[in-house]
Structure 1
Amino acid sequence: MAILARKIKVEKPKILISTPLFPPQAGGPATYSKILFEYLPGRGFEVSLAKFSSISFLPKLLSHLAYFLLVVLKSIGADIVYAQDPVSVGLPSLLAARILGKRFFLKIVGDYAWEQGVQRAGITDSLDVFSKRSEGYPLLVAVLKRVQCFVASRAERVVVPSRYLKNIVSNWGIAEERIVVIYNAAEQVKVLDSKESLRKRFSWSGPILASAGRFVPWKGFDGLLRVFPRLLESYREARLVLIGDGPDRARLESLAARLGISGKVFFTGRLPRKEALEHIQASDVFVLNSSYEGFSHQLLEVLSLSVPTVATDAGGNAEIVEDGKSGLLVPPGESGPLLEAILKVLENRRLSAKLSRCGKERAKEFGGERMLDAITKLLFS
């Protein structure tokens, strides 16, 4: 029978961070876990890691069993287990914590059931609708919804990186007072080469638009491709650079061909972080055309590079970008406002310079110290 977790006051709490990703892998959980691993020891914690990536080479069912055993072993000496998603690492981490009587905290950065439903089960509901609806979904999606709700409901506290996600998780039936908003930190990134030298290295000329992310439906790459021919009417030398990879890549390349813009659109594939940032640094406008974002760590990185940014006001984007100051916000799924915003940045040098300057300053507001102060206070509570 599970032993209920109890709050243990110790001088130097031991925390186990269970995470699906860790550098050199890319992604928000990897970056966040790395920051905690490196900086929490300076705030009075002993920190250890349980990385799902360390056993992901195993067959699927076997890898989940192996990960559960890994978390159990690493939890024995821990006081707190802090899981970085509610399903793949969250469920085994919760079970291990309950068995061993450890405090359990959970980080949620998105709705995994919805994401899988959109990719694999043809779900067309928006996330806001999906988070409130409990019936009528395929078995896989229904199971994933139950799992993430089960894990979240049994966490001592659920940490989310935006007010938007707090609303989503509260729609699952989790009490609002148990959901804590702690904004993710932005690492201040610096590309050593200048924009001009990078463009020379890449043999780029003319206006360059960049976008990056996983090629999945809600990232809006198809909408950006459909807008691009209209941009070419004003800027014939413009190019669109798409950084990343994913299940939609073949479909997006086919769409570019049908639109007759294949020679103007460059799919870089997945790049190491430094190279991806160099491509973004060399661009004139960065576009985030997503219809859903819990909290975009990538958006913070782009702002810190002083690259003028156009983003949708979907999800947590509006909590990062101050429209007209640190970036331009447009409604998701609307091509007219998206094109208009891109043209504004390209045509108005004063506006472009303002967005660059204010974007960099805005990114600094999401500092690591503030995030670490908040998580330290929460875990010591």
Structure 2
Amino acid sequence: MKITILVSLFPPKWLAGTEIATYYMAGHLAQRGHEVHVITSWDEDLPKESYEKDFYIHRLPRVRVRFVGAFIFWADIVRTIQKISPDIVHVQSLGIAFPAVISKKILRIPYVVWGQGSDVYLPDWFTKLTSKTIIKNADVAIALTSNMKEAMKNIYNRNMAVVPNGIELEGYIDKSPMQKVKCREKIVLFVGRLHPIKGVRYLLLAMQILHEEMPDTRLILVGDGEERNYLEELTDRLEMRGWVDFVGKVPHQRIPDYMCKADIFVLPSLSESFGIVNIEAMAFGLPVVATRVGGLPDIIEEGVNGYLVEAKKPDQIAHKLLILLQNNTIMEEISINNIRKAEMFTWDKVTETIEGIYLDCLNNRPCRIRNEAKARLRHTE
């Protein structure tokens, strides 16, 4: 099968959840014998056409002129889709889906759209304007969680699939949590953008409360962003510099180096679609304390995988951290639960589900298109 994936941004420069998920999904689809083409925006110093990890990448320049630049970019995407002539277009986010609608109308190529988070919960004005048309015309609409499914159905009520993002366990298996060196100092870890939506300021306030009860705790913040200066200033004002580490942005492949040293993972977001970083933490057996927002309750069962707290409540975060850090039995039980649960989210399993969605989608297309796609699939086998 020939598959085209649309995504606004892509590694190596961009390493947020959607970008990393797209990278691994493309690679696993290619490993399953499909011809995969990723269409994304061009980043300086990167080739506009490349072949990496068994799939093709087409990086298209964006003209930085409001409105006009977007339309030129979409037109380039449609032309690239026409050139590739795929069996199906997979769109990673409502925000970049409009070219798929156009290619379906003009080129008769079916498309699948997968809601990824802010495009559903915090859309920009144009996504708000077009999302109903995008979801309505998609051959299949997918949500990451049941919560997101309901949010997407509020935009346009139709049948939808729920498929979570996956995790690449390869970098985690050889760093077993059982190999962690036990030490007196307890480490609380956050990994993500230092952006107001991530709620890190409330984690800092929680750590101040926790530190009064347990002075042998340290907070490690992995990531960078526009709120970093404010957070560092807040850390100084709270006199916490001695036990709060700002690591900054690190390559995704180095995240396991920090997770294998941690005791607990915290995600204090004000809004979160799925939070694949939670699953990555679970793969290390880390209990998770996260906010009860978006799709996080779909991942974290209270007392089984960790604890859920209300957003903007540092006292609740501190309380749950204290429960975990003062009870080794609870920590060990949750650790075992989380290692097992992480295995349910491997990219092998997720990609197999996505592949099935593609085939079901093509089976509902006109015979000529369906037969051509099946012939290509037989050729790859």
Alignment TM-score, normalising by the size of structure 2: 0.80
RMSD after superposition: 2.7
Is residue 61–residue 73 contact of structure 2 (8 Å, CA) maintained in 1? no
C-alpha displacement of 1:71:
4.2
- Residue 350 of structure 1, aligned match among 329, 337, 343: 329
C-alpha displacement of 1:237:
3.0
- Residue 7 of structure 2, aligned match among 19, 23, 37: 19
C-alpha displacement of 1:56:
7.0
- Residue 162 of structure 2, aligned match among 168, 181, 195: 181
Structure 2 Cα separation of the partners of residues 363 and 194 of structure 1: 13
The amino acid of 2:154's aligned partner reads N
Residue in 1 that maps onto 2:27: 38
Residue in 1 that maps onto 2:154: 171
What are the Cα deviations for residues 34-65 of structure 1, in whole angstroms up to 9, with x where unaligned?
33323334656432221224547654248642
Is residue 56–residue 63 contact of structure 1 (8 Å, CA) maintained in 2? no
Is residue 75–residue 81 contact of structure 1 (8 Å, CA) maintained in 2? no
Is residue 324–residue 355 contact of structure 1 (8 Å, CA) maintained in 2? yes
Give the count of matched residue pairs: 339
Structure 1 Cα separation of the partners of residues 157 and 122 of structure 2: 23
Q: Which moved more, 1:24-33 or 1:248-257?
A: 24-33
Q: Map 1:280-291 to 2 at 5 A.
A: 280-291=259-270
Residue in 2 that maps onto 1:60: 64
What are the Cα deviations for residues 264-319 of structure 1, in whole angstroms up to 9, with x where unaligned?
21111111113222112211111111122211111111101112221222221111
State the SS of the aligned residue for 1:343: helix
The reply on whether 1:210 has 2:218 as its aligned counterpart is no
The amino acid of 1:267's aligned partner reads F
C-alpha displacement of 1:199:
7.2
Gaps of 5+ in 2: 44-58, 361-381
The amino acid of 2:172's aligned partner reads K
C-alpha displacement of 1:16:
0.7
What are the Cα deviations for residues 343-365 of structure 1, in whole angstroms up to 9, with x where unaligned?
11111111111111111101112
Choose between structure 1 and 2 for higher RCO, CA contacts under 8 A separated by at least 6 residues: 2
Structure 2 Cα separation of the partners of residues 42 and 267 of structure 1: 37
Is residue 323–residue 329 contact of structure 1 (8 Å, CA) maintained in 2? yes
The amino acid of 1:229's aligned partner reads Q
What are the Cα deviations for residues 133-171 of structure 1, in whole angstroms up to 9, with x where unaligned?
xxxxxxxx4434113333333322211110010111112
- Residue 79 of structure 1, aligned match among 83, 87, 93: 87
Is residue 52–residue 67 contact of structure 1 (8 Å, CA) maintained in 2? no
State the SS of the aligned residue for 1:306: coil
Is residue 18–residue 71 contact of structure 1 (8 Å, CA) maintained in 2? no
State the SS of the aligned residue for 2:172: coil
Structure 2 Cα separation of the partners of residues 150 and 258 of structure 1: 49
1:63 to 1:56, Cα distance in 2 relative to 1, 3 A: farther
Gaps of 5+ in 1: 1-12, 117-140
Residue in 1 that maps onto 2:129: 146
Residue in 2 that maps onto 1:3: none
The amino acid of 1:371's aligned partner reads V
Residue in 2 that maps onto 1:374: 353
The reply on whether 1:29 has 2:18 as its aligned counterpart is yes
The amino acid of 1:214's aligned partner reads R
- Residue 341 of structure 1, aligned match among 292, 302, 320: 320
State the SS of the aligned residue for 2:216: coil
1:191 to 1:30, Cα distance in 2 relative to 1, 3 A: same
1:311 to 1:114, Cα distance in 2 relative to 1, 3 A: closer
Is residue 244–residue 269 contact of structure 1 (8 Å, CA) maintained in 2? yes
The amino acid of 1:81's aligned partner reads V
What are the Cα deviations for residues 85-117 of structure 1, in whole angstroms up to 9, with x where unaligned?
112x3223333343322112211111337547x
The amino acid of 1:209's aligned partner reads V
Residue in 2 that maps onto 1:256: 235
Is residue 260–residue 284 contact of structure 2 (8 Å, CA) maintained in 1? yes
Structure 2 Cα separation of the partners of residues 340 and 349 of structure 1: 16
State the SS of the aligned residue for 1:233: helix
The amino acid of 2:261's aligned partner reads A
1:105 to 1:235, Cα distance in 2 relative to 1, 3 A: same
Alignment TM-score, normalising by the size of structure 1: 0.80
Residue in 2 that maps onto 1:364: 343
Is residue 42–residue 62 contact of structure 2 (8 Å, CA) maintained in 1? no
